[in-house]
Amino acid sequence: MNKKDIVDSMKPYFADSKEAEKAVDIFINLITQALKRKEKVMISSFGTFIPIEKKPALRRNPKTNEKVMTSVRKKVRFKPSRKLISSI
């Protein structure tokens, strides 16, 4: 399922498809902004999005075998709720 599929499934709840698309965009934007502020996003009965910063590390380039120091990497971890896991 992608963004278009979500918008299509939400169309019956809105007056037109533009409003459904705007609602999905606002929802995604709210989650993105909270993660940028390094806040946890908890959606009950669904799960939790947790922003993580990976520390710099010494890695190896597989082509040249050269060792390279990587910078800080930002990641998002998703932890599904028990209710979501049991419903699958």
- pLDDT score, position 66: 93
How confident is the prediction along the chain (88 residues), in pLDDT tens digits per residue? 999 999 999 999 998 889 999 999 999 999 999 999 999 999 999 999 999 999 999 999 899 999 999 999 999 999 999 999 999 8
Radius of gyration of the chain (CA): 19
Backbone angles phi, psi at 51, to 5 degrees: -75, 140
